[in-house]
Amino acid sequence: MPLRKYSVPIFNSEEELLQYYALHFRWEREKLAAVLSQFGQLTLVGKGKLIRHLVRAFGEFQSLGVNVRTITPNAQHEQLRAVEKAAARFLDQLGVNVKNVPPQEMWKLLAHRMSASIFQTLSKQRDEGVVTLMRLASAGIDKNDTEPASSNAQLNSNSDRLIETLVNVLWIYERAGVAAEAIAPRPPQGHGGARNPVHQKGALIRCAIETYARMRTLYPDSGPVTGFGGPLHRFVQAVGALFGAAVTEKQIEDVWRRRDRISNPK
């Protein structure tokens, strides 16, 4: 299948179109076909354009699902603190006490230096950590190698890579702490607490309605003009089924009325 500029595929049939997007976005082919059917008559190019609108709506739908359900400020704060603790535990296993790591300003001053120099400046490593690093660096290297130059080169390479890794973990530890401080944990909200103004399913319905209206404008012969009624309901519900969300007529009506008030204020 030849590709256009920006790698947008050219499809020779509706079946190719359906198979391509169903595979890439893990949609059910039959549900994607149902969305096209509920919209109305479109050329193959028009169907591709409609599906690309759905792709953008799907991305917004998924991102809102993540934001609303899981990544609250408190969850972000806890996750960053967990990263900070995990980095500290890892460094401690290699003899590095993170309490001796200097603040962010020192990192800026050392940005131009090599990892080994940065590590010597940033931390004091306990003896057992030094031994562990030596073991890690020499693991798998034949002590009886007849070409010591080759073994030494491998040992030096391994040592440099280990030190670079430690510096990176030190940096992650410092970054996680700074990021966590920027997100202060909030007390639990009671019944009077703030509510998320953007509901995932409401965003899905709004995107589906806007897609329907935009495509009707671009392809006026594809079906009835945009209006609240059966064709719009069936299209929005088909989009909801494609995205794995059950949408009722009452929910569609609520979003339509809000949209109408915004578009036609009194």
DSSP per position, 235-255: HHHHHHHHHT----HHHHHHH
Q: How many distinct structural domains can be found in the chain?
A: 2
Q: Which domain-ending residue is among 182, 207, 227? A: 182
Identify whether 187 is part of a domain. Answer: no
The model's pLDDT over 158-214, given as tens digits with 9 standing for 90+, comes to: 888 887 888 788 888 888 888 888 876 655 554 444 444 447 788 888 889 999 989
Q: Global pTM?
A: 0.48
Q: Which domain-ending residue is among 154, 182, 210? A: 182
Whether 246 and 240 have beta carbons less than 8 Å apart is answered as yes
State the Cα–Cα distance between residues 184 and 74, nearest whole angstrom. 8
Does residue 119 sit in the same domain as residue 95?
yes
Does residue 86 sit in the same domain as residue 137?
yes
Q: Which domain-ending residue is among 155, 182, 209? A: 182
Identify whether 193 is part of a domain. Answer: no
Does residue 140 sit in the same domain as residue 98?
yes
Does residue 112 sit in the same domain as residue 171?
yes
By residue range, what is the domain housing residue 223?
Answer: 5-70+198-263
Does residue 237 sit in the same domain as residue 156?
no
Does residue 147 sit in the same domain as residue 210?
no
Q: Which residues contact 127 (CB under 8 A, 6 or more apart)?
A: 95
Does residue 97 sit in the same domain as residue 177?
yes
The model's pLDDT over 222-247, given as tens digits with 9 standing for 90+, comes to: 877 767 778 889 999 999 999 888 88
